[in-house]
Structure 1
C-alpha cells in the first residue's frame, strides 16, 4: 500500500508508462510523438528516398545485373552469336581465370593503382594539403591553382598533350628540354611506358587528394597540435600520432574513391599508348575494351568486368573495415 501510494503521488509526466524492469526496478518508457506526425513521416520517407532508389536501380544495379547475364552467354557483336546468343554458364569466367593475358592485365592494373593512386596521389596530395595549412607559406592561391589546373583539363586533351610532350621526335618538348642540358633524344613512352602513365596519372589526381585532405585537416583542433608542440613533439610525431588518427576515416574514404576511379582509367592510357608497346600498359580496362568491341566478344568482356567488380567490392569492404567507418 505504501509503495502504491508513493507511485501515485510521484510526478510522472503524462503519456509516460511505468514498467517493471528485468531487475525488479521501475523504468519509464520514453514518450512517443503524436500518431499523426509518425504517419506523415512514414509517408514522406518513400517520397524522399524514391528518386535516388530509382536512379540507383536504373543506372547501377540494372547494368551490373545485365553484365552478369552477358558474362554467362557467348554474345558477340557480329556473327551467329549476335543474332542467337547461347547460355554458356561459367565458361567465360573459366577461360579468363586461365588466361595469362587477363591475369597479367590484372597485375598491371594493380601496379598502376598502387603507384599512381595509393602512393603517388595520396602522398603528394597530403603534402600539398599540409603545406596550404602553413602560415609561413606565401602565394597559397597560386600554389593551389597550379595543383588544381590538371584536374580541369579533360582526360583526352591531357593524354594527347602529354603524348606530344613525350614524343620521341627531337621536336618534342621533353627532348627539347634534354637538348638544353646537352642530352640526346629520349622516348619515355616507348622505353618506360608504365612509369610514364603512372607519373601522368599522379599529375592529374593530386588536386582531388589535396581537396579531400585539406577539408579533413580543417577538423583537426589546433589546440592539440599546439599542446603537442609545447611538449616537445616533432612535426613528424604530431602528424603520425595526432593528425593521421583523427583523419583516418577521410583518408580511407579517399583511398576507396581513388582506387575505384583509377581502376576504371581508360582514355588516359589508351590515347597515350593504346596498351603498348606490346602489352606493357594493357590494363584490365583496355583488355575489356579490346575483347568486347574490337574482337566483338561481348560475353567475354562482360565476364571480365564482373571479375573486376568483385575484386573492387572486396577491396572496398577492406578499406571500410580498416577505416572503422560505415560506408
Structure 2
C-alpha cells in the first residue's frame, strides 16, 4: 500500500499567480504602448526644460558678454539677489493682485453666476447668452489685446471714452490712469467662459432630490446654494481655481500687449519681469531663478487647493 503526499491547498494557490496578476502582466505592454508617446512628450517638453532651467538658475549664464562664452556656477547668488530685489518683489505683489482679482474672484464668481443662470429653465435666450460668454474664449490673444487697446484708447474715438462722453466725462487714458484694473477686467473677460463650462458641468451632477428637499424644508435659494450645492461641487471648484491660478500666474501676452508692464511698473507681473531679465537684459541665470521661485509659489498654491478640496493625490 503506497501513500501519496498531497500539497496543501494554500501552497498550491500560492504557487500559481492569481488571475488578477496575470491580467495585469498582459495589459502592461498595452498600457506602455498607449501612454508611452505622451510620457515621452512630457519628458522632452516639460520635465527636461524644467530641469535645465533649474540648472541655469544656479549659473551666471548670459546671452552676451563673457558669461555667455563660459558660464559658471554661482550657487544661490541669483536667488539671494532676487529675494532682496525691490523690482522682483514688486512684480510678485502685482502678480498676486492680478491672480486674486481676475482669476480667483472675478472669473470664479462671474463664471459661477453665468453657469447658474444657464442651468435655470426659465431663462430665455440661453443660446445667445452662452455664445456671448464663449466668444472671448475662441478669440486669439493678440486679437483680443488689440481689440481692448482700441476700447481703452486715450483718444475720444475709444469705445469706452465714447460711452463715458454721453455722461459728460472727458477722454481718459485708461491704461495709464487705472492700468492694473484695466488688465484685470480684460483677463476676466477672457476667462469667464472656461469657468462657466466647468461649473455648469458640475451643477448638472448635483442631485435634484437634495435641492427639492432643502426647498421643502424652507431653505431659500441662497441657503440651498451655500449649504447643498456648493459643498457638492467643491472638488470641481477647487480644480478650476488650481487651473486658473496656474494659467494666470503665467500670463504674459495679454498684459504685455496692453501695457508692457507700465506705467512705472504698475503692471509688471512676474512673467514680464522674467522676460525683461532673460531676453532684454540677457541675464538667463537670473531669469531662470525667477522662474523657479514662481514655480515654487505655484506648487505651494496647488497643494493648498488640493488640501482644501480634500482630494487625495
- TM bucket normalised to smaller: over 0.9
1:38 Cα offset (Å): 4.1
Matching of residue 228 in structure 1 with residue 214 in structure 2:
yes
* Offset of residue 62 of structure 1: 0.5
Q: Which runs of 5+ in 1 are unaligned?
A: 1-14, 19-30
Matching residue of 1:28: none
What's the counterpart of residue 264 of structure 1? 250
Partner of 2:129: 143
SS of the aligned residue for 2:192 comes to helix
Aligned counterparts of 1:260 and 1:34: Cα–Cα separation in 2:
39
Count of matched residue pairs: 304
Describe the SS at the equivalent of 1:164.
Answer: helix
Residue-by-residue CA offset, 1:73-119 (whole Å, 9 max, x unaligned):
11111111111111111110100001011011001100000000000
* Mapped partners of 1:224, 1:230: distance in 2: 10
Is 1:297 the counterpart of 2:283? The answer is yes
- Counterpart residue number, 2:41: 55
Q: 1:227 to 1:93 in 2, by over 3 A?
A: same
Inter-CA distance 37–174: structure 2 relative to 1 (3 Å threshold): closer
- Which whole-Å CA distance do the structure 1 matches of 2:23 and 2:271 have between them? 51
User: 1:223-272: per-residue Cα shift (whole Å, max 9, x none)?
Assistant: 11111111110001100111000000000000000000000110100010
Q: TM-score, normalised to structure 2's length?
A: 0.93
TM-score calculated relative to the size of structure 1: 0.89
Counterpart-to-counterpart distance in 2, 1:88 and 1:206: 44
Partner residue of 2:263 out of 265, 271, 277: 277
Cα distance in 2, alignment partners of residues 16 and 183 from structure 1 = 92
Structure with larger Rg: 1
- Structure 2 gap segments, 5+ residues each: 1-7, 12-16
Alignment partner, residue 252 of structure 1: 238
Question: 1:318: Cα distance to partner?
Answer: 0.8
Deviation at 1:16, TM superposition (A): 7.8
Aligned to 1:116: 102
Decide which of 226, 231, 235 is 1:240's aligned counterpart: 226
Partner SS, residue 19 of structure 2? coil
Give me the whole-angstrom Cα distance separating, in 1, the residues matched to 2:20 and 2:310. Answer: 37
Using a 3 Å threshold, how does the CA distance of structure 1 residues 181 and 47 change in structure 2: closer, same or farther? same
Deviates more, 1:169-178 or 1:308-317: 169-178
Report what 1:22 is aligned to.
none
**Map of 1:128 onto structure 2:** 114
Report whether the alignment pairs 1:189 with 2:198.
no
Match of 1:173 in 2: 159
Secondary structure of the residue aligned to 2:147 is: helix
Q: How far off is 1:175 after superposition?
A: 1.2
2: CA distance, partners of 1:69 / 1:259: 26
In 2, the alpha carbon distance for the partners of 1:243 and 1:90 equals 48
Q: What is the RMSD computed on CA atoms of the aligned residues?
A: 2.0
- Paired with 1:64 and 1:126, the residues of 2 have a C-alpha distance of 34
